[in-house]
Structure 1
Amino acid sequence: MRFAALAVLTSLAVFPVLAGETALDWRSQATPHDLDRLERYEDAVTKGMMESRVAGEEHGTYNELVSVMEEETVAADPEELKGQWNCRTIKAGGPFAGFVVYGWFRCEIVEKNGRLFFEKLSGSQRQSGYLYPR
């Protein structure tokens, strides 16, 4: 099985599936709140990294976040993304949980309705949604 750290905020956006929605433009499915958050993306990353450094150094996990965030972002080949993966979520600061490096979970990317679809296969929160290029 392949390993990947899917950094949703850095390369792909996952939005919940809307029943019957066929629009290919993610903006038509994003809420005004999400659009506002994405407008402030760079500021949020900077603030999150600062918050994470303080919290992560206390717990020894900050280097995991840095290793993901410092990688060069490149365009992904949709065909190479398809398949089963081991994924993880890293939350970098914020008002609710602060800095958290979550454990690995199984996930899969398949083609659905001619588009890439992400689904979390294990763990307590089973997110799923279409992937959009950023």
Structure 2
Amino acid sequence: MRLAYLPLCAAAALAGCSSGSGGQRVAQAPAPPDWRSIATDSDRHRLREWRTAWVRGLEKARASGHGAALAHEGALLQPDAAISWEDPPPGLYLCRTLKVGGQSEALLDYVAYPWFDCRIRNENGLMSFTKLSGSQRPIGLLLPYVGQRMVFLGTLQLGDESRALQYGRDRERDMAGVIERIGEEKWRLVFPYPHFESTIDILELVPKSAAS
């Protein structure tokens, strides 16, 4: 099974229909798929190593003089700061990405990007996440995991592209992350060992309704 994201939501909805009286189709919300049956071997490995990537990224950033900036972000950049889980509500979000630990000496060890627009949808029992603006836009699904978190599996949309690649088709575009709740109305989406630029990416999520 491979993800096509929003098309997958539609396919899942069809799979979750059953015939009612008179042969009428009655929609039933499907059970979310097991992320392990979807994730590539490479992404399962990246998810297992999420904490190692985080520690290495922080070490690189501190060694290059970004300790004060890291401390200023508080719980957002602390690996063990997750609190009791609540699903992020559907709607529009403000989101920003922090890239920590450059993959090579030529790359910066800490970059904090400005706020962009993101969206979470709840469709037929599946939660989708899309970054709506910016030059690098993750798009994918949030799936049940273990403990106080969920798994993100998706792909990276670049520049003026209007459609997302199918998950598993291009290893360099595949994205795997863990989403955690770190505040009353705040979540973070953590991408260990992304294929570009950094050792770990942390995407902060705040509902627009809470930020206004």
Query: In the TM superposition, what are the counterparts of 1:1-134 in structure 2 within 5 Å?
Result: 17=5, 20=8, 22=12, 24-55=33-64, 57=66, 61-70=69-78, 72-78=81-87, 80-95=88-103, 97=107, 98-132=109-143, 133=150
Amino acid at match of 1:86: L
Structure 2 regions of 5+ residues with no counterpart?
Answer: 13-31, 144-149, 152-212
Ranked by relative contact order (alpha carbons within 8 Å, sequence separation 6 or more), the top structure is: 1
SS of 1:89's partner is strand
Deviation string, structure 1 residues 85-116 (Cα, Å, up to 9, x no partner) = 10111122141544322221110111123111
After TM superposition, the score normalised by the length of structure 1 is 0.69
Structure 1 segments (4+ residues) deviating >4 Å: 18-23
User: Percent same amino acid among aligned pairs?
Assistant: 33
Work out whether residues 66 and 110 of structure 2, in 8 Å CA contact, stay in contact via their aligned partners in 1.
no
SS of structure 2 residue aligned to 1:88: strand
> Hey, what's the Cα distance between the residues in 2 that align with 1:119 and 1:56?
33
One-letter amino acid matched to 1:17: Y
Q: Given that residues 84 and 108 in structure 1 are in contact (C-alpha distance below 8 angstroms), is that contact kept between their aligned partners in structure 2?
A: yes
Would you say how many aligned residue pairs link Structure 1 and Structure 2?
A: 118
CA RMSD of aligned residues (A): 2.8
**Residue 88 of structure 1 contacts residue 104 of structure 1 at CA under 8 Å; is this kept in 2?**
yes
More helix by share: 1
Q: Please, what TM-score do these two structures have when normalized by structure 2?
A: 0.47
Greater strand proportion: 2
Distance in structure 2 (CA, Å) of the matches to 1:106 and 1:30: 26
- In 1, are the aligned partners of 2:119 and 2:130 still within 8 Å (CA)? yes
CA–CA separation in structure 1 for the residues paired with 2:90 and 2:117: 13
